[in-house]
Amino acid sequence: MTVKNLEKRGFRTDHAENLLRGLRKSGYLTVLDKRTGHMKQYALPNCIHLVEAKAYDKEKEEIFPNDIALLIANRLSNIEDSYHIIHLETFLNYREDYELLGWPIPSALNRQKVQSFRLDMIRSVTFTISPNGTVNITIECTHKPFKFHAAPGLFDFIASCGKISALLQIEANNRMNVVPREGDWLLQHFDYNRDIHIKELEDKHLLAKTISLSSKGVLKFDYLGTVFQVYCKSIPYVGECLRFEGHYNAKIKVNLDDMVADIANGDKHPFTTLDEMLLNERSKNADDRDSDN
């Protein structure tokens, strides 16, 4: 029984709160450890074992089905990060190679040459080369992010860098040694994400009955000094996903040899784990019980 139950039966909120508080002090009711949302739950002392048994059976089927935050945290804690929209920087070994590239120049002011190429059916790369020899490389792979946490994902990324280097060689009239080796390229920025399949949430946790997801909506929030955004993403061969995304900008320029291993360690993106959220919930419940006594 909660205050809300009494409100549905015509009791005013203050009257319901005073009534339940009085019955508890008289010993007719006791407070359960678990709340419904922010409201305390009350039960007859001789029925606690029945209420707790029912709650336990429900939790075995679904973890905190009425708390979407904990449900999503449970899924996120079991997903590794993926990486997309990767910005790299290098330079032409010979500045005169700038003249070999017959690419469009969108702006007459900076005279940067810009060209995009396909790396595969889903990934692409865009080059921006300045007259001073600076080469900016943007790998766009939002529909097929790289997975640096496993050997196949790392190999996939290294192979893509090899393709990028080969493209520059071909475009510069097949000249060798156009830019330094891939491991010496500098990492400037990347986006990292964890995707949850919406259909999986709907099938396992009846999410569709709880909240409505819009493909146009974007939620942004700040956690531990890092800004995350959450939005729906339609991914080829996968379907609709709920994407949790963050952004990382390198404060100093570090080459790929030194950075990729650090990225894979995952120490740059503070996603909350389920254990951390449950620990916070237990602490709050304990504080509430202490304040009532």
* 178-203 tens-digit pLDDT: 999 999 999 998 888 888 777 776 66
Please give the torsion angle defined by the CA atoms of residues 262, 268, 270 and 273, in that order, rounded to the nearest 10 degrees. -10
Higher pLDDT, 234 or 121: 121
| Residue 40 sits in the same domain as residue 121 | no
Same domain assignment for residues 105 and 25: no
95 found inside a domain: yes
Asked whether residue 288 is domain-assigned, the answer is: no
pLDDT of residue 275: 46
As a whole number of angstroms, the distance between CA 29 and CA 263 comes to 53
Domain match, 5 and 111 both: no
Q: Please, which pLDDT band fits residue 143 given cuts at 50, 70 and 90?
A: confident
Residues 213, 143 share a domain: yes
Residues 155 and 104 in one domain: yes
Question: How far apart, in whole angstroms, are the C-alpha atoms of residue 98 and residue 100?
Answer: 5
Q: Are residues 26 and 94 in the same domain?
A: no
Q: Give the mean pLDDT of the chain.
A: 75
Over 50: is that where the pLDDT of 57 sits? no
Structural domain including 114 reads 78-271
Question: For residue 286, is it within any domain?
Answer: no
On whether the CB atoms of residues 147 and 263 are closer than 8 A, the answer is no
Are residues 218 and 107 located together in one domain of the fold?
A: yes
Asked, for residue 163, whether it belongs to a domain, the answer is yes
Do 56 and 86 share a domain, yes or no?
no
In a shared domain, residues 97 and 186: yes
Same domain? For 25 and 153 the reply is: no
Enumerate the H helices of the chain as residue ranges.
3-8, 13-25, 48-61, 68-76, 151-171, 198-205, 256-265, 274-292
The count of structural domains within the chain is 2
CA angle 274, 60, 197 (to 5 degrees): 55
Q: Does the residue 181 lie in any domain?
A: yes
The pLDDT, as a whole number, for residue 60 is 39
* Least confident range of 75-84, 116-125, 283-292: 283-292
CA-CA distances (angstroms) from residue 164 to 106, 116, 151, 254?
21, 11, 20, 19
Q: Looking at the predicted structure, is the pLDDT value of residue 172 above 90? A: yes
Assign 138 a pLDDT band (cuts: 50, 70, 90). Answer: very high
Question: Which is more confidently placed, 230 or 278?
Answer: 230
In a domain, 291, yes or no: no
